């Protein structure tokens, strides 16, 4: 069964440092997303990416965040200068073409900013 | 914009049936998902409704009424492993297919 893979599974970083979270979506999918979930809270939309550009972003996705699909397979989320409140689980998801398709989620990266 | 409402917590007994409701308001609708999420893990897909009616999949069923902006997830023959959060999520009808999640319902199954 196809799956979305994310690396690393857990990242600890110092406040102010840059982090890059990596995702490999399902190969023939067209729509890519990043979500985050702060411990005990809801899954929050960050950004969607389609046709090699950002299609929509939330208020959370400020100038500290960026996304890239550098080589046609990887999909990365960069946080330039991490803050304590960036500590969360970050989930990558992808959706294929067609009406009846679920959003496939990766297993998540737990980011801890200290 | 979108607004998705679910109860925060529910408790049910092993072997029983539980119904988790979800109401939504959205400017464009292209389907509703139910996901299960165990603590510290990624959401896992349970069901997807895009037309009105009931979709049954084993012990799990999901219902949708688009005119009422309402869905429910029905879990039968509850097992202890069903203790988890259940997330209702709505997919936009726009070109970018954004999926927006509700706050989730934390279900506790007790013996």
pLDDT of A42:
87
pLDDT band of residue B110 (cuts 50, 70, 90) is very high
List, for residues A63-81, the tens digit of each pLDDT value: 999 999 988 789 999 999 9
pLDDT band of residue B40 (cuts 50, 70, 90) is confident
Query: What distance lies between CA B43 and its chain's CA centroid?
Result: 11
A95 touches chain B (CB under 8 A): yes
pLDDT of B96:
65
B99 touches chain A (CB under 8 A): yes
Residue of A nearest to B41 (CA): A107
Q: What is the mean pLDDT of residues B15-30?
A: 93
* β B53-57/B60-65 pair status: antiparallel
Q: How far apart are the first and last CA of chain A?
A: 37
List, for residues A5-51, the tens digit of each pLDDT value: 999 999 999 999 999 999 999 988 888 999 999 998 889 999 999 88
Residue B97 and residue A48: Cβ atoms within 8 Å?
Answer: yes
């Amino acid at each position: 069964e196809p799956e979305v893979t994310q690396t690393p599974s857990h990242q600890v970083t110092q406040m102010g440092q840059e982090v890059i979270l990596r995702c490999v979506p399902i190969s023939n999918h067209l729509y890519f997303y990043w979500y985050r979930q702060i411990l005990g809270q809801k899954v929050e939309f960050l950004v969607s990416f389609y046709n090699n550009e950002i299609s929509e972003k939330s208020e959370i996705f400020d100038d500290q965040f960026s996304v890239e699909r550098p080589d046609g397979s990887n999909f990365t989320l960069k946080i330039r200068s991490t803050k304590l409140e960036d500590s969360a689980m970050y989930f990558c998801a992808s959706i294929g073409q067609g009406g009846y398709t679920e959003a496939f989620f990766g297993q998540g990266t737990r980011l801890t900013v200290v | 914009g979108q607004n998705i409402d679910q109860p925060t917590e529910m408790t049910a007994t092993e072997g029983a049936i539980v119904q988790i409701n979800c109401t939504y308001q959205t400017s464009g609708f292209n389907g509703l998902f139910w996901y299960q999420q165990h603590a510290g893990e990624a959401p896992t897909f349970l069901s997807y409704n895009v037309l009105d009616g009931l979709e049954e999949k084993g012990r799990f069923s999901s219902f949708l009424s688009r005119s009422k902006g309402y869905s429910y997830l029905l879990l039968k023959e509850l097992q202890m492993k069903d203790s988890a959060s259940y997330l209702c999520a709505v997919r936009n009808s726009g070109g970018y297919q954004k999926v927006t999640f509700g706050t989730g319902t934390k279900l506790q199954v007790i013996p």
